[in-house]
């Protein structure tokens, strides 16, 4: 059985483009998240073979896996509440070849879009 890989938001394999900033909090995996308010900011990782968070202040992403785009909504309707560590995108049946995953900020929430950590 293949093992899972986990990338923390500060892993050097993750390439952030734009104006991302790190926020800290004990509710986050590894006690930090990356946050952006700028539309079009993105993160790319290459992997073989995503957890995020949902909140009233989060936006939405476009997830591109090998060029195919899937919209991901990071918003949660409860006022001032959130759901940490939510699987927001998953896929199955990938070949053992190298794949490219790009996550692009599509519509920032009040305090930006949040990327917590990812697992392949």
Lowest mean pLDDT among 17-21, 43-47, 113-117: 113-117
Q: Where are the domains of the chain?
A: 6-119
Whole-number mean pLDDT of the chain?
73
Q: What is the pLDDT of residue 86?
A: 60
Residue 61, phi then psi, degrees to nearest 5: -120, 160
- CA distances 90 to 80, 84, 100, Å, are 26, 16, 14
Contact 60, 73 (CB under 8 A): yes
Average pLDDT over residues 8-17: 89
pTM for the structure as a whole: 0.52
CATH architecture group of domain 6-119 = Sandwich (2.60)
């Amino acid at each position: 059985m293949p093992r899972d890989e986990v990338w923390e938001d500060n892993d050097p394999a993750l390439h952030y483009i734009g104006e991302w900033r790190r926020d800290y909090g004990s509710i986050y995996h590894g006690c930090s998240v990356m946050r952006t308010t700028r539309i079009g900011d993105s993160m790319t990782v290459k992997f073989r073979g995503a957890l995020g968070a949902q909140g009233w202040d989060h936006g939405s992403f476009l997830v591109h896996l090998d060029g195919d785009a899937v919209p991901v909504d990071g918003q949660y309707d409860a006022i001032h509440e959130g759901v940490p560590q939510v699987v927001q995108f998953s896929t199955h049946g990938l070949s053992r070849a190298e794949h490219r995953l790009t996550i692009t900020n599509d519509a920032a929430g009040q305090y930006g879009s949040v990327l917590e950590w990812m697992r392949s």
